[in-house]
Amino acid sequence: MTNTTLHTDRNLWLKILIGMGLGIGLGLLLSPTSIALVDEYTALEFGEWVALPGIVFLGLLKMIVIPLIICSIVLGVTASGDLGFLKKTGFQLVIYFIITTFISIFIGVMVVQAINPAQYISNSFIEQTIASTDAPSEIFDKLSIPQRVENLLPVNFTEASLERNMLQIVIFSFFLGIIMLTLPKNRTKIFSDLCEFGQDACMKVIEWAMKLAPYAVFGLICNITIQIGFDTIAGVGAYMLSVMIGLLAMFGVYLIIVSIIAKRNPFEFMRSIRNTQIFAFSTSSSAATMPFTLKTAEENLGIDPKISRFVIPVGATINMDGTALYQAAAALFLCSLFGVDLSAGEIFLLMLTTVGASIGTPATPGVGIIVLATILSSIGVPPEGIGIILGVDRILDMCRTTLNVSGDLVASTVMDRLASKKA
């Protein structure tokens, strides 16, 4: 086991929060659709430049994500020591992920049914946004289940890393870890040492990147605020609010899980993960946040590394409760906007589809909405309807990614508790 530690500033969360606040403030001053201190061209140009530290920061994190996933999973699997432990934890984890994803989708459906945000949208807004926004051109392929299974297999590792197919990389790393377990120690030591070095090296890069974090967040949020039209937010405010209420409610469920199942103080838990949440919010990427999530799990929550190094990389890739909630809520909202009536059975089918869709959604910014386009076309909503929610997607992406990452940390505490009970 490595004793990798990451030295970060204890007040980092506060600095990041200040960066976020200042970024929003400056963005509002410059945004062409709010105070508009400068002309639109200058504002957009400025936004691009001010986001530069953020681009470098995200680049550094993206640079290490693949080696970190491989090293963490290999070390996690080998640290567990036996395949029996792995099978049991893996099985429990999959069941846990499916149950929480269902709860999350259920909350999304309930909130949209209760608020019915479609009733607050004006016809002129619908016409204007559909005409002026391009629907995502890249709609996910409709593949059969055997084809999907085939796509899970990392037949070509170079291709998997080129396309940043995290699920394939996770599966490949599991294979490596399991192979290590089945070979005599003297034959695997060299690779295990290499993985320990890889993990230490990645943590060093994160440590450097963290120094940039407050400036990065400031710039990224400022740029986004400049770009987002405030009339767009006003137009779909009720829909945004519904999704946000749903995400908050799911976070409430997490806290209940943390206190009842993981037997931890929920307030302490919230305090321990706030850095990571702010980070996920600012980057909109579970994958880019993963190194940090891992660190939070081990150092702030004291999770056994053999659990965290297994749960976090897998969770960051397939456990997306925020995305699932959002996809179900957005699909229902657009259905009622376009007069597509869904029976209770169809809503249930939609929930099932969303579980699969959220698992398949890559952990990077803005892809949840592309996967949503596929769900929409399967239930008869015109895909260009997505134009209506595209304008505010980035904000919701930030919120749902925060929940996605929190969900991975909750899952680690639960698995840690279950494993320690057995021990």
Half-sphere exposure for 393 (CA within 13 Å, toward CB):
21
Of 262-270, 278-286, 382-390, 415-423, the segment contacting ligand ASP by CB under 6 A is 278-286
- Smallest distance, ligand ASP to C-beta of residue 17, A: 20
Residue 404 sits in the site that holds ligand ASP (CB under 6 A): yes
- Smallest distance, ligand ASP to C-beta of residue 97, A: 14
Q: Closer CB to ligand ASP, residue 303 or residue 316?
A: 316
Work out the burial of residue 305: count CB atoms within 10 Å of its CB; fewer than 13 is exposed, 13-18 middle, 19 or more buried. buried
Q: Closer CB to ligand ASP, residue 294 or residue 320?
A: 320
Query: Of these, 321, 397, 408, 416, which contacts ligand ASP (CB under 6 A)?
Result: 397
d(CA 101, CA 328): 11
User: Distances from the Cα of 380 to the Cαs of 130, 370, 421, in angstroms?
Assistant: 16, 16, 48
**Residue owning tokens 């997490």:** 254
d(CA 309, CA 322): 22
Closest CA to 236 of 126, 328, 133, 342: 126
Half-sphere exposure for 423 (CA within 13 Å, toward CB):
10
Q: Closer CB to ligand ASP, residue 36 or residue 139?
A: 139
| Cβ contact 75:325 at 8 Å | no
> Please, what's the b/e burial string for 377-405 (b: 16 or more CB within 10 A of its CB; e: otherwise)?
bebebebbbbbbbbbbbbbbbbbbbbbbb
- Smallest distance, ligand ASP to C-beta of residue 282, A: 12
Residues contacting 174, CB < 8 A, separation 6+: 73, 77
Residue number closest to ligand ASP, CB atom: 368
- Kindly write down the DSSP assignment for every residue of 43-77, as one continuous string: HHHHHHHHTHHHHHHHHHHHHHHHHHHHHHHHHHH
Of 14-22, 67-75, 128-136, 398-406, the segment contacting ligand ASP by CB under 6 A is 398-406
Q: Closer CB to ligand ASP, residue 85 or residue 292?
A: 292
- Smallest distance, ligand ASP to C-beta of residue 323, A: 3
- Smallest distance, ligand ASP to C-beta of residue 328, A: 12
Query: What is the contact mask toward ligand ASP in residues 234 to 273, using x (rule: CB under 6 A)?
Result: ----------------------------------------
Q: Closer CB to ligand ASP, residue 276 or residue 401?
A: 401
- Smallest distance, ligand ASP to C-beta of residue 247, A: 11
Give, to the nearest 10 degrees, the angle between helix 166-182 and helix 145-152. 60
Residue 278 sits in the site that holds ligand ASP (CB under 6 A): no
Amino acid code (one letter) for 262: A
| Cβ contact 283:289 at 8 Å | yes
Q: Closer CB to ligand ASP, residue 4 or residue 323?
A: 323
| Cβ contact 207:8 at 8 Å | yes
- Smallest distance, ligand ASP to C-beta of residue 58, A: 12
- Smallest distance, ligand ASP to C-beta of residue 286, A: 3
Q: Closer CB to ligand ASP, residue 43 or residue 392?
A: 392
Of 129-137, 202-210, 251-259, 393-401, the segment contacting ligand ASP by CB under 6 A is 393-401
Query: What is the contact mask toward ligand ASP in residues 284 to 303, using x (rule: CB under 6 A)?
Result: xxx-----------------
Site for ligand ASP in 309-348 (CB under 6 A): 320, 323
Site for ligand ASP in 174-203 (CB under 6 A): none
Total residues contacting ligand ASP by CB under 6 A comes to: 16
Task: List, in sequence order, the alpha helices (H) in 133-184.
Answer: 145-152, 157-162, 166-182
Q: Closer CB to ligand ASP, residue 272 or residue 289?
A: 289
* Maximum distance among all Cα pairs of the chain, rounded to whole angstroms: 71
Q: Closer CB to ligand ASP, residue 169 or residue 419?
A: 169
d(CA 153, CA 29): 49
Query: What is the contact mask toward ligand ASP in residues 102 to 141, using x (rule: CB under 6 A)?
Result: ----------------------------------------
- Smallest distance, ligand ASP to C-beta of residue 318, A: 11
d(CA 117, CA 108): 12
| Cβ contact 61:50 at 8 Å | no
Query: What is the contact mask toward ligand ASP in residues 347 to 386, using x (rule: CB under 6 A)?
Result: --------------x-xxxxxx------------------
**Assigned token pair, 147:** 């084809």
Which residues make up the interface to ligand ASP (CB under 6 A)? 284-286, 320, 323, 361, 363-368, 397, 400-401, 404
